[in-house]
Amino acid sequence: MKPLRLLYWASTGLLAAFMLMASVPDILQVPMAVEVFRHLGYPAYLLPFVGTAKILGVAAVLFPGFGRVKEWAYAGLVFDLTGALHSHLSVGDAASAWSMPILGLVLVTVSYVFYRKTLVPADRSLDAGRASRPGVAIRRVTPEPE
Q: How far apart are the first and last CA of the chain?
A: 37
* pTM score over 0.85: no
**What is residue 64's predicted lDDT score, i.e. its pLDDT?**
84
**What is residue 54's predicted lDDT score, i.e. its pLDDT?**
97
Q: Where are the domains of the chain?
A: 3-132
Q: What is the pLDDT of residues 16-40, one digit of tens each?
A: 999 999 999 999 999 999 999 999 9
Q: Which residues of the chain have pLDDT under 50?
A: none
**What is residue 39's predicted lDDT score, i.e. its pLDDT?**
96
How far apart, in whole angstroms, are the C-alpha atoms of residue 124 and residue 117?
Answer: 12
**What is residue 1's predicted lDDT score, i.e. its pLDDT?**
72
CATH topology of domain 3-132: Butyryl-CoA Dehydrogenase, subunit A; domain 3 (1.20.140)
